[in-house]
Amino acid sequence: MIDITNRNLKKTDVIFGECGHKDSGKLPILETIIKKEADEIIDEIIESGLKGRGGAGFPTGLKWKFCSMNPVSEKYVVCNADEGEPGTFKDRDILLKVPEKVFAGMAICGHVIGAKEGYLYLRGEYLFMVPKLNAILTWFNAKIKDLGYDFAISIRRGSGAYVCGEETALIESMEGKRGESRNKPPYPVAEGFRNKPTVINNVETFVDVAMIQKYGVECFKKLGTQDSRGSKVFSISGDTLKPGVYELEMGMKLSDFVDEFGDGDTKAVQVGGASGFCVPRKHFAETIIGFEGIPTGGSMMLFNSSRSMYNVLLNYLEFFADESCGQCTPCRVGCQQLVKGIEAVKSGKKDADYLNVLLKLTDAMKTTSKCGLGQSVANPCSSIIGNFVEEMIY
Amino acid sequence: MTEEFLFVKKLVDKHGTHREVLMPILQTVIEEKRFLSEVMMNEIALQLDISPAQVYGTATFYTFLDVENRGKYVIRICKSIIAEMKGKKEIQKALENRLKIKMGETTPDNMFTLLETNDIGWSDEEPSMLINEMPYTNLTPEKVISIINELQQN
Ligand SMILES: Cc1cc2nc3c(=O)[nH]c(=O)nc-3n(C[C@H](O)[C@H](O)[C@H](O)COP(=O)(O)O)c2cc1C
Ligand code: SF4
C-alpha cells in the first residue's frame, strides 16, 4: 500500500483493518450481537451518525428502524454490490479482501429487522468473484446456523446494467424482470423484494455497521465531521501517480486530496462518478468532500490540463444514453439529445447559446425523471459546461 | 427431445419454475452457450410458463445477456473515460488487427467476439477488458496479443 504524505489527510483502517485493535477481522462479534436487543443496535447506529455509503447518504440507523417497526413478518436484507458508477471500484476490493465483514453486517441487519434471508446482488462484471464468495458463504452460513440463528445469505447476480444499482430497479432484477426503477414511495423498507419490507444498503455501509458493533460507536464517531461521521473508501483514478483504493477520514478538503493524489497539473476532479460533480482547480480549496459539501459514493477521477473536458462530458453522456432504462421520456430522449446537442455545438452546427438550451433540458430531466439516473444527469452537465464552457465550443 | 429442451429441463429441475429463476437460467445459458438463441428463449418461456416476450424483454435489457451469435470467447473492452485516457484505442486496434474483425463482430471460426462495454470496475488498472467473466487489466497491445495467442492454443 502506498503511503499518504499530506498531513491534513488521515488514512484510516475501519473497513480493511482492525480499527486500531489487534485481533483479526474474523468476527467473533456475532455471538454477542444476537443476544443484543434490536433497539439497542439501532440506537447505536443512529448515535454513530452513519450515513449510507452508496451515494445518497440516507441515515442507516433510521432506515433499519423503519424496517424493524414494520409488523410484516417476512422481510429481506439486500446488499447492493452493483457498483456501476464510472470510476468506482472500492466495493470490488472490499468484497475481495474483507467479505466476511460484509456478511456480518448483513447478518446484524437480519437480526435487527427480523429477516431470515439476505441477498448479495453482485454486478455481472464481478462474476469472477463468485466461486470464492460462495465458498466463504458456505462457511459463514454454517457458522450462523451453529449460533442458533435463523439467517442465510445467498448471491444474486446482475448481468450488466448500471440502473440496477438503483434500489428499486435492483429489486425488479432480483425478481427476474427488466431492471426498470419503480415509483417511490413506497420505499423498499415498506415494499421491497417480493413486495416485502427490505433493507438495501451498500457493501461498505454493512461493513461500517459491523465495525461499529465490534469496536463501539465512539471509535467510529471520533472520525470525520459533524455531518460526515466515520471514514470513507475512495476509488481514485485518472491522472494520478497512485490510482487505487484508499480509506480516508470523511470531510477532507479537495485541495489536500489533490495535493496528495494529483500529478501536479490537476485541472479538475470529478467527484462521485459520472453522476457526480466536476470541481475545477479554482474551487479545490473551498470544497469539502462529505455530506456538508460534495458527497461521493467513492469515485474520484482526476484530470490534468492535457485532457479535454468536452471528451469527458461526451463520454459521461454516452454512458447515460447507453444505460437509461428507457422507461420515462425525459431521461430516454433527454440523454440522447444531450449527446447530439454537445456534438452540434462542438462542430459549430449550433452556436454557443445552445448550451443554455441543453442545461434547461437537464433541469427538466431533474424534475421529471422517475429515478436518480435521469435526475442526476444535470450534475455533470451543469458543472462541466459551467466551468469549462470554452472547451465545449472550441 | 431437442437439445434446448434437455438443457432448460435440467435448469428447471434445479431452480424450479418461479419467475425469479429467469435471471439465473438466462445467466447459465450465457455461461455455457455464450448467447440466447430464439429456440432457447422459446423453450425457457414454455417451461417457465411465461410468454416468450417476457423472456426476450428481460434478456434484451441486460448487456451481458446476448441474443445474437457470440464466439467462444466474448471480449468486452472497457470504454470508460479513464480507459480512454489510458490507451483503450490502442488496445482496440491491436485486437482488431490480431483477430481481423471490427468492433461488434465475431471471427469466422466462431472463437472470438469483440465488443465494448461500460466501466467494468477497474479504473485503477486501465486499460481493461473482460473475456467471458475474467477481467484482464493494465493492458498493453503486446499483452493482449499474447492473451489471444494463449486462448487460441486451448
Ligand atoms: C442509477 C443509480 C445507480 C446506483 N448504483 C448504486 C450502486 O452501484 N451501489 C450502491 O450501493 N448504491 C447505488 N445507488 C443508490 C441506491 O439506490 C441506494 O440508495 C443505496 O444502495 C442505498 O444504500 P446506502 O444507504 O447504504 O448507500 C444507485 C442509485 C442510482 C439512482
Ligand atoms: S430516469 Fe432514466 S433510468 Fe430512471 S426510470 Fe426513467 S428512463 Fe429509467
Total domain count, chain B: 2
Going from the C-alpha of A254 to that of each of A13, A86, A341, the distances in angstroms are 21, 19, 31
Closest-CA distance, B100 to chain A, in angstroms, reads 26
Give A24's pLDDT tier (boundaries 50, 70, 90).
very low
Same domain, B135 and B82: yes
* Bridge partners (DSSP) listed for residue A234: A246
Between helices B22-33 and B3-15, what is the axis angle to 10°? Answer: 130
Q: Are B88 and B128 in the same domain?
A: yes
Please indicate, yes or no, if residue B131 is contained in any of the structural domains: yes
Q: Are residues B117 and B48 in the same domain?
A: no
Of B61, B88, B103, the residue that ends a domain is B61
Closest in B22, B126, B135 to A176, CB measured: B22
Residues B80 and B146 in one domain: yes
CATH number for the domain harbouring residue B54: 1.10.10
**Residue pair A64/A97 in contact by the 8 Å Cβ criterion:** no
Per the CB < 8 A criterion, the answer to whether A109 and A118 are in contact is: yes
Among B38, B61, B84, identify where a domain stops.
B61
Query: What pLDDT was estimated at residue A384?
Result: 98
Termini Cα distance of chain B: 32
Which tens digit of pLDDT belongs to each residue from A144-198? 999 999 999 999 999 999 999 999 999 999 999 999 999 999 999 999 999 999 9
For residue B135, whether the previous peptide bond is cis, meaning omega lies within 30 degrees of 0, is: no
Do B99 and B55 have their domain in common?
no
CB contact under 8 A, B63 and A161: yes
Length of chain A: 394
**Is B14 domain-assigned?**
yes
Tell me, yes or no, whether B32 lies in a domain.
Answer: yes
Give every residue of chain B whose pLDDT is below 50, as ranges: none
Residues B82 and B51 in one domain: no
B77 and B148, same domain (yes or no): yes
Q: Which ligand is nearest to the CA of A324?
A: 2
Residues B78 and B107 in one domain: yes
Packing angle, helices A99-113 and A203-215, rounded to 10: 80
The separation between CA A347 and the C-alpha centre of its own chain, rounded to angstroms, equals 36
Nearest CA to ligand 1 atom 13: A165
Closest Cα in chain B, distance from residue A298 (Å): 12
Q: Are residues B79 and B130 in the same domain?
A: yes
The single-letter code of the amino acid at A299 is: S
Query: pLDDT tens digits, residue range A309-333?
Result: 999 999 999 999 999 999 999 999 9
pLDDT in tens, A343-375: 999 999 999 999 999 999 999 999 999 999 999
Quick one: B89 and B144 in the same domain? yes
Asked if residue B78 and residue B53 are part of one domain, the reply reads no
What CA–CA distances, in Å, run from A58 to A61, A324, B77? 9, 24, 34
Question: ipTM of this model?
Answer: 0.97
β-pairing, A266-271 vs B129-131, is unpaired
Residue B89 inside a domain? The answer is yes
Q: Does the pTM of the predicted model rise above 0.80?
A: yes
Domain range for B57: 3-61
In a domain, B68, yes or no: no
Q: Identify whether B134 is part of a domain.
A: yes
* Cβ–Cβ < 8 Å for B59, A173: no
Pull the grid cell for residue A147: 449460533
User: Does B47 share its domain with B115?
Assistant: no
What domains appear along chain A, each with residue ranges and CATH number?
A: 3-221 (3.40.50.11540), 231-304 (3.10.20.600), 309-393 (1.20.1440.230)
A117 neighbourhood in chain B, CB within 8 Å: none
Residue B96 within a domain: yes
Q: Is position B66 within any domain? A: no
